Every structure is written in structure tokens, then in C-alpha cells.
Structure 1
Amino acid sequence: MSAASNQSRIAGYLDSLRQRKLSAHTIASYGRDLRELAGLVQSLPGEPAFVAVSHFHVRKFASQLHGGGLNPRSIARKLSAWRGFFDWLADHDPLPSNPVEGVKPPKRDRPLPKALSADDAVRVVAEGMPGRDPDSPEQRCNRAMFELLYSSGLRVSELSGLDVRFIRDGDYQSAGWVDLAEREVSVTGKGSKQRRVPVGGPALAAIEAWLQVRDTLVKGDPRPLFLSARGNRISPNALYQRLTRHARALGLPVNVHPHVLRHSFATHVLQSSGDLRAVQEMLGHASIAATQIYTSLDFQRLAQVYDATHPRAKKSDKPG
């Protein structure tokens, strides 16, 4: 099958897509992906025909695209276009199987977690919401929750599940609680893994202030540490909304939610200590690999400081 025959097959497939009333934009996109496939096929030894393409070849093509800098999302789109084309081609040419079946795009790179600056993090957890009474039960509850999230790097579900103390009652056993005397919080994280994390002084003070008024809100279950406006255990979603609304009222330019405070906790502890293993333990990561993403984030900060302060950091337009 010649290059002209390959192009003829592509034209036939695109005509079939027009008959299915696909949009012109979609058809043009498929055309580009298939012409790129034809170019890759031309590089194969022997007969440069679509029918000669194997599963191995498609994997090689995907690797070449990735090595050339194409992102995983775009590669996934191309594979989808190629898969549909070979399904159609099987009705016109003898194919042993669709060579694209089972070929997966490269894994997408995990985005670096967003972290607040230390000043912004302190603002979020320490400042009250403008126009609200800081001593109201809801505002005291918010302050205690936000302080604890940043102080100890808890997941939102872990914080929501905290009880006023360790409770064992029949089939019920506390998933987590704060020990004010020991200045630590015990939580049950992913995989039912339990851990204890230190709690800082401001968070302890905020929790004690909240406990002074907590009983005025309790309705029904007396065990939850943090409560909704209705007096029940606060849900992760309600906590998310409260923190986002609070940060927006303070005028922060970024979307602040509980996981941002967890990321900020990890980033700031790592920047100060450099102890990746300790951060892993406090976050409750099963593997150090999950924590290592913060080393990249920390290096970005160091690079920014270097570029802004070192007299020889800035590149000149032309060599001197």
C-alpha cells in the first residue's frame, strides 16, 4: 500500500465521519492526527502500509510523541483517533486486530501542590472573618479548625472525624482526638493507619477557646469535636465551604481550601527542617515517594530566591 493509498484510506474514514454528522472541527482534528500517523507509518521498514502496523509500532509511536514533548492528554486524544480509524479500516482491509487496543498514553504528571506563603497561611488561620463576631461559637469553631489544619497537616476527612476525646463505646471507637495535655492529635488516616502529630500552641489555644462554647451548639451526638451550625458533626464539604468563604472574605487572590493548608503545612515544615522523612510521617504518607513532590516545590522557592537576589543570576541578552 503506497503513501497515496494511505491518504485515500484517511479520506474515506473522514467521509464516514461526515456522514455521522460530526462537527467540522472534530473531523479536522481527526485528519491531523491520522496524517501524523501516516507520517509515522512511512518511517517503518518494509511496506509503509496501515495494515502492517502492529501493537508494538503503536507503542513506539506513542513513546516518540512523548519523547518529543507532547503531553499525555494530547497523546491520549491521538490514540483515540487512531483506534477509531483502525476499527473502520478493518471493514475494508484484512487486519488481524486493532493495533491500538491496549495501548495506554503515558501517565499524566501530577501537578505540584499549591501552597500559601507563610504570611498568607497565618492570615487565613489567625484573622477572623471581617464583620463577624470573633467570639461567636461558629467563628471560634472555624478558628480552631483552620489552626489545626495548618498546625498539623490533617486531611479534611481526618479533621471532620475527630472526637472530643478518645471514646470506646460498644462497636464505636474514636477515629481521632486531640490530647491537649500531650499537645498532639491522633488520627486514623488512609488504610486505617493511625498516627500522632504535634499540635502548635496557637492551635491548642484556639481549640480550648472553642471548647468553652462548644456545648452551646451540641445537639444529638455528643462525641464530635467540631460541629455544624445545626450542632452535628461537621462534614468535609461544609468545612471546605467555610474555609473557602473565609479566605475569600480576607481578600486572598487564590482559592484556599483544606488541602491547600495541608500542602502549606508540609512545604513550610520542609523548608525549615529539610527533614523529608518527618514530613512523611506527619502527613501519613505510606511511601516517601508521595512526599518527595514537596522537594520540587521547595527547590522552586530556592530558585526564585536565587534569581531575585544573586548578582550573577540574571542572564544577559548577549555574552560579554
Structure 2
Amino acid sequence: MNDEYRDYRHYLYAGRKAPGTIEQRLGDLERFQRTTGLLPRKATARELLTYMSNGYSDWSPSYSKRIRGTLRSYYQWRVQDGRASEDPSESLPPIKVPKRRARRPAPDEVVLAAFDSGTLVERAIIALAASMGLRRNEIASLPLSARDGSTLRVVGKGSRERVLPLDSDTLHLLVELEGQVLPGQHYYFPGRFPGTHLHSHTVYEYVKRLMPEEFPHSLRHRAGTKGFRETKDIRATQELLGHASLATTEVYIESDLRDVAALTRATSMSRIRNPSSQPLTGLEDLIEAAAKLGSQLAPFGWDVQIIRSSQPAPDATVGVQ
């Protein structure tokens, strides 16, 4: 590590920043130095503005926001530590990141096929990502001490801790891994050297080998989308994924067209003409499900017919999701 940033690195460690955050901050500063030929401690406000503006066409809004955050953190530390009297990053304008559309979650059939064909380690990785919603670095560095009975303690971004109830499949896989622990092993997924854990990129490679079109993050999206769709509980989904903000959780949730269809049915002109039909939201889905069941039973000699015999009761409700 460049001694130029040694004291700043110590400051970040003292503040209990996550290892990934520390590596990111220092990497951003070194990249600034390589790109501009300037030492960050000598850069002026105008030079910082030029650096940020030069990235306008190449950087995403989220990356620009990250770089601004690094520069603000570094120069605020320098002023606080008495190394500088002014903060040249004060003039950097705030950056608004547009809300992204939800990414596509990994399809259930693809996840299940990979799970069934994987080794014990691969199955555990898939379950932790696709069922428990863990990030790949959280999986790679998961310590053996994380499990307490049927719960899992996970330390994520910003050193935020969450305790998750384990589903039976993931619990069984972790118990199997524990049965193969070697002396000196501290993690569920050990690295090449004693006492170390698997690199997060290796987790990525495991997933890509089994699911070439997917990523660890699309498995995590699957956990968030599936969990929310089944429960409609965004707070619980936020806790599962370990997000500090609900706005971040919303990015991970793919809207189900059936949910949107229920909204448009509720706001249609027919609801204005016939308000008493409003409680029947979801009826179309129920009829569709019954028709599908009928088609599946037909080869076995069953004939399922859907006949409306009377008007629905005023308080009739349908809860199909």
C-alpha cells in the first residue's frame, strides 16, 4: 500500500469501516493520482472539479457519486487532522443517482437446475445467494461462528449486522460443511492458505460455471423479488437483504405484472360505474388458475368447468397472488 495514504487508511480502520469500503476509498485516490498525475493532497478545488467533469461521459451517476464521496471523506479527514486548513472538495456539487429499474432476478428453474447439479460447496453458495439473499463477499467471508442454531448472523456493507432465520435446505448444507471442517479453518468456504477465506471473485466463478447467464447478484435479486412477492412485506425484505435504505430495497424488487394488473383493474372506468365490484381484485387470476388446472387434469379424464351461478356477495374478496 502506498505510504501516501497510510494515515488515512488507519483513520478508516479506526472508524470501523468495512474492508471493502477501505479498499475502495484507497483505490479511488490512487486512480485519481494515476489519471491526473497529481497527489490528492496537493489538488485544488478547480482540479477536483475538472476531474469530476472529465468523467461525465464515461462514468455512471452511481460511480460519480462514489468518487465524490471518497474525495469528500479524504479532504474532511485532512482538515480534521490539521493537515490542511481548507477542504477543496467543498465545491463539488451533490450528485443525484436516478432510480434504476429492477434488474432481472435469476429464474427459479435455472437456479434449481444449477443447485441440483452442483457440489456441496456450490449448492451452499447458491442457497446462500438465492434463498438467503447474501452478497458474494458475505458468502466468501462467512465465518463458522455465524450460525447459531437455525439463525445466521451476517455482517454486510457498512458493518451492518443482520440475523436471518435459516430455511431448512440452507441449514442442512451449512451443517454438512461444518462436518468437513479441517483444523485451523475459520470459514465455511476456506481459501488457499490456512486461516483465510475464499475470494469473492471465486464465488462469482462458481455461479457462472453453473449458470452462464446469471450472476451472484441476480441470485440475490431472486431472493428479494421472490421474498417480497410471497409476503408483500418490504420491511422484512429490507432486513433480508441488509439494506440501510428502503429506496435501495425497491431497486431489488421486480414488480409482478399481476400486481400491476390488479392496480389497473382497481382504477379502471368499470370500477367507477360499478364500485361494488371493487373487492373482487384478483378474481381474474383465480379464474385463470382454475382454467390452467382444468387443462392439466383433462388428460386424466377430468372435466373442469367454470360456471357463474349467481352474483357475488357484497363482501366477497379474492386473495390470489
TM-score under structure 2 length normalisation: 0.48
More helix by share: 2
TM-score by length of 1: 0.48
**Is the radius of gyration larger for structure 1 or structure 2?**
1
